[in-house]
Amino acid sequence: MAETVFTGLGTALIAPAQLNAAVRRGLHGATALAGAAGTALVVSQQEGQRSRAVPAGVAAGAVLLGVSVVGVKLDASLEQWLRRRGVKRPRVWMGAVAGAVTLVSAWAGDFSPEVTESEIREGAEGSGDGGNESASA
């Protein structure tokens, strides 16, 4: 729930395109660095994948850097589009929608089935017929 509130308030109160260039660069860099570090950490903890941690982290960081830059431009474009259509306080509306999407995403995630690694292995081992259930018929 806190995630929803922070997303909505953050979107409503902060217009990234209006931040000065140094702060925007810091925002983009922090996003890329956090994504790179998180990806590298997750990959390094997987058995046999340690050597791929740094390349995976660099790739994730590069993608997130690009997404962050494009996201700020899209945010500004959406705000201007809403203003041209006469929407009063477009950042508030954008925040409300962002919060609602975050809430629905979190809610939907609560209902997704959790599959364990052993269940995945059992499913793969149990499909020796290539997934053709009628093979035994």
Query: Structure pTM?
Result: 0.66
The fraction of the chain above a pLDDT of 90, given in percent, is 49
Q: How many CB atoms lie within 10 A of CB 100?
A: 13
- Domain around 62: 2-121
Tell me if 135 is assigned to some domain. Answer: no
Tell me if 11 is assigned to some domain. Answer: yes
What is the tally of structural domains in the chain? 1
Please tell me the predicted confidence (pLDDT) of residue 137.
45
Tell me if 20 is assigned to some domain. Answer: yes
CA distances from 39 to 7, 32, 59, 95, 133 (A): 22, 11, 9, 28, 38
Mean pLDDT, residues 39-61: 91
> Is pLDDT above 50 for 120?
yes
- Are 76 and 15 a contacting pair, CB within 8 Å? yes
Tell me if 81 is assigned to some domain. Answer: yes
> Is pLDDT above 90 for 64?
yes
> Is pLDDT above 90 for 29?
yes
Mean pLDDT, residues 81-88: 95
Mean pLDDT, residues 6-32: 86
Tell me if 47 is assigned to some domain. Answer: yes
